[in-house]
Chain A
Amino acid sequence: MVYCAKKLLIIATLLLPIVACAPNRSAAPTGETTGEAQQPLVTGAIPDQDPEKLQRLYGKLSEYLEQELGVPVEYKPVTDYAAAVTAFKVGDLGLVWFGGLTGVQARLQVPGAEAIAQRDIDANFHSVFIANKKAGIQPLTDINGLQSLKGRTITFGSESSTSGRLMPQYFLQQAGVKLEDFKGQPGFSQSHDATIKLVEAGTYEVGALNEQVWKSRVAAGEVDLNQVDVIWRTPAYYDYHWVINPAVTEHYGADFVEKVQAALLKLDPNVPEQKEILELFGASKFIATENGNYQQIEAIGRQIGKIK
């Protein structure tokens, strides 16, 4: 019995730190890098292209924004679309780089949220449909050509991706092709790069992805063009943009939204450090945008069922 009691004592001591720790941690300040004086502006992004660059990218961007805005800026890594939208909704993310669809989803959940800036290429964004050469699909001449994809297998990217899912599915629908017309269920590869590789391997005959990613992978020689090539380029639409949470004005003043927008638009490709930030984003500059630009995306989102 004594031995047993001793063991119980061990459990008790094992569990003690947990109990002891709880109040300690709660008393400690949560923001490690800043004092209590000013709450940092928390930025986030949905990693869609070259996510491993994110760390570097947001380090540089945070520094730049801190300088321009005079408030501490912090970057929080979030790798899931739904988690990023939700974190924006509950106010834990103040400024987020969203995709077309996720930006709309986020704004719909936060009244007063505003789209403030986009890259020069985002106003005129395209997706591409790619096909494995062995599938013998000829390049399509117009949108109706999509009908020739019936009976094939297809993969999209991520479920919430505008360029890798929403717009391709919309154009398919415009051409009268339903998802059920494909062979089996459509795949969701979760990333543009995986889409390229799975179509290159021939696992799926057709794939749809972000044109920017396709071009940069082809330029880098990472795609075997003997195995896979573009069969159609979609018409243009609006995609990625910065969305800001209205709650920031409570902390940093009524004109803060304009300030952030101005800071983003001011990024100058002629200044070496700023050029680096722009290059990491794959942009030559940021331009202004507004909520109205995404009405089409919202309508399509509702039609396809991604917005309820």
Chain B
Amino acid sequence: MDNKPLQTVPRPAWLHQRLRWALIALIAIAVSLCAVGLQPAIFNWNGLGQLWRFLAASGQPDLSAEFLAVVLRAALTTLAYAVCSTCLSLLIGAVGGLLASEVWWLAVLPHQNLHRSISSTIRMILAIPRAIHELIWGLFFVNILGLDPLVAILAIAIPYGAIVAKVFSELLDETPRQPLFALLNSGVPAANAFIYSLIPQAFLNFVSYAFYRFECSIRSAAVLGIIGAGGLGYEILLSLQSLRYHQLWTLFLALFVLNGAVDWGSAWLRHRLGSPTRLDLNLRRPTRSRKQSKPGDPLVLGAGIGLLALIPFSFWYVAADWTKLWSPRTATLLAEVGQAIWPPRLETLPQLGPLLLQTLAMSILAIAIAGMGGVLLAFPAARNFWSPNGLLAGHTTSGLGRIWAWTRLLLTRAFLLMARAIPAPIWALVALFVLFPGILPGAVALGIHNLGILGRLMAEVVEDLDPRPVVALKAQGVTAPLLFLYGVLPLTLTRFLAYILYRWEVCTRETVIVGLVGAGGLGRLLTEQLSSFDYQNLLVTLAGFVVLTFVVDWISGTARRALR
């Protein structure tokens, strides 16, 4: 496009593509709200006391030595599980991502015109493991592996591996291809050409994403306490069942520390490596030249060695029995599961439609809450924004003003950390104290949890903002609100939306774990069937989830392309 002669840019149509998508989103949210609005009362003021009791317990967490020892051991277990499952998911994701990328097939089969169909088929297949929540994977693996640490590792690694594969393949496809084709055309074999061009180009993005995945694994390990693995998830479940709020808050604090430390550590390391944000979606733009770390930065080297040591330690600590993967018992049990689920029964098929819509409505509301909250909180949570010397900082440099600015930054960040560290089922129970049962409390629970994640990702976008246009505008005396509207939003909004759409898919899957709100949609049906060992009908419900994931995937993919 750059080479064409200058031509007048036509004024965009009134109803241009972005506006159309905005309208679609608004209508979707409105329709979902209608599904909620059928009940006369929404707020249950009577439950404020219960909510208060939960929140007040945060002031007095259970700090007895006995319990702290339990928490410490559990935190270590959770960390070890997260490390193991992240490693495995990255391995799966690297292979899967290569195979699912268009550019790989273009390089391997240059003469057949098949690359697009092969890669999109593989991407479709990868949507299946992604559609199924870790919890269900866990139960499946108990069926074939029994009680072994392996169950929890695989339960996280399989769906995460598929997610990593999807993101990796997108990264590969969006990395500039000229160097790759230069190598290929000079006769370098495809694998070598990849190793010397595309992979190093995308490497920093891979590493950043790997750290993001690690953070997610910790959160996931905290939900997945069910399978004899122990860890914080197990302890949280135990304390939750008898509502020991003081114990729960101690466990949450452990999660804050763990999440916060990994978060901070990965941000620091990424910064040192000069890599972009942890999850670089929507990057159809030339990689900006950035300050690269000097090779051999001693701090990075130290951190790298520390991480390297953490991996074998975690595998040793978890002590999974890997022989189970190929033992004859596993094969027998797998065959038994096969017999138990086949043939699928279609009894629940008529119910499936409404339940699908219910799940969809819940996920849309959840992501709307998370998205809006995330956008609002991303700015106060970003270091370079309202803080002193930030882009939008006022001219007051009084001591009080500075203290207020830093407090605001810390408070927002603490809130975001709390929102994402506390597992969604706990938010669901808390939401149920003050909201009447239905889709709404489920959406609120998922919304709060994902808000914490989105807010952090978006704050990073803001911190990563190219300051030049904003500084230029500011120098011309543009007022703060206008600066925000014309300088900041245009630079950040598309990437915010890309994150929101990406997280939406996660929300649909997570509706499985907030079934206690009395409107779980497909998730409720799934838990009922699991607890009845009704595997033949279960298969159909899972298929429903897969369909839902396809739909969400397609919509968000189309929308992201349109918004680019």
A contact set with B: CB distance below 8 Å:
1, 3-8, 10-11, 13-15, 17-18, 20-23, 25-26, 28, 30, 32, 42, 44, 47-52, 54-55, 76-83, 85-87, 90-93, 105, 109, 132, 134, 153, 155, 158-160, 184-191, 193-194, 197-198, 200-204, 227, 305-308
Contacts and interface: CB of A to CB of B under 8 A. Distances in A.
Interface in B505-519: 515-519
B242 A188 contact: no
Given A18-B88, A201-B50, A201-B433, A194 B147 contact: no
Contacts of B320: 25
Contacts of B434: 201
A170 B148 CA distance: 36
B315 A21 contact: yes
B482 interface: no
Nearest to B292: A3
B322 A22 contact: yes
A118 to B, nearest CB: 22
A159 B315 contact: no
B299 interface: no
Interface in B122-150: 138-139, 142-144, 146-148
Contact of A308 (B139, B234, B532): B532
Nearest to A198: B432
A78 B139 contact: no
A15 B87 CA distance: 8
B226 A10 contact: no
B563 interface: no
Nearest to A52: B238
B250 to A, nearest CB: 12
A39 to B, nearest CB: 13
A77 B230 contact: yes
Contacts of B342: none
Contacts of A25: 315-316, 319-322
Contacts of A5: 196
B322 A52 contact: no
B431 to A, nearest CB: 10
23 contacts: A4-B196, A17-B308, A17-B311, A44-B228, A51-B242, A52-B238, A52-B239, A78-B228, A81-B531, A83-B138, A83-B226, A86-B143, A92-B146, A132-B46, A159-B531, A187-B437, A190-B241, A190-B425, A191-B241, A193-B241, A194-B516, A201-B50, A201-B432
Contact of A83 (B203, B227, B230): B227
Contacts, number: 205
Given A81-B531, A184-B39, A191 B240 contact: yes
Interface stretch (B2-10, B401-409, B522-530): B522-530
A197 B433 contact: yes
Contact of B196 (A1, A11, A200): A1
Given A105-B533, A191-B240, A203-B44, A78 B88 contact: no
Contacts of B196: 1, 4-5
A86 B532 contact: no
Contacts of A50: 242
B544 to A, nearest CB: 17
A21 B316 contact: yes
A213 B425 CA distance: 22
B528 A159 contact: yes
B304 A184 contact: no
Contact of B530 (A48, A82, A87, A92): A82
Given A3-B200, A80-B226, A201-B47, 17 more contacts: A17-B308, A25-B316, A47-B241, A49-B242, A79-B241, A86-B142, A87-B142, A132-B46, A153-B518, A155-B437, A187-B432, A188-B515, A190-B241, A190-B425, A191-B243, A201-B49, A308-B533
Contacts of B88: 18
A18 B92 CA distance: 12
Given A87-B147, A306-B531, A186 B518 contact: yes
Contacts of A188: 515-516, 518, 524, 527
Task: Give the top 9 A-B pairs by smallest Cβ distance, nearest first.
Answer: A201-B47, A4-B200, A187-B518, A92-B146, A80-B226, A202-B46, A191-B241, A159-B531, A21-B315
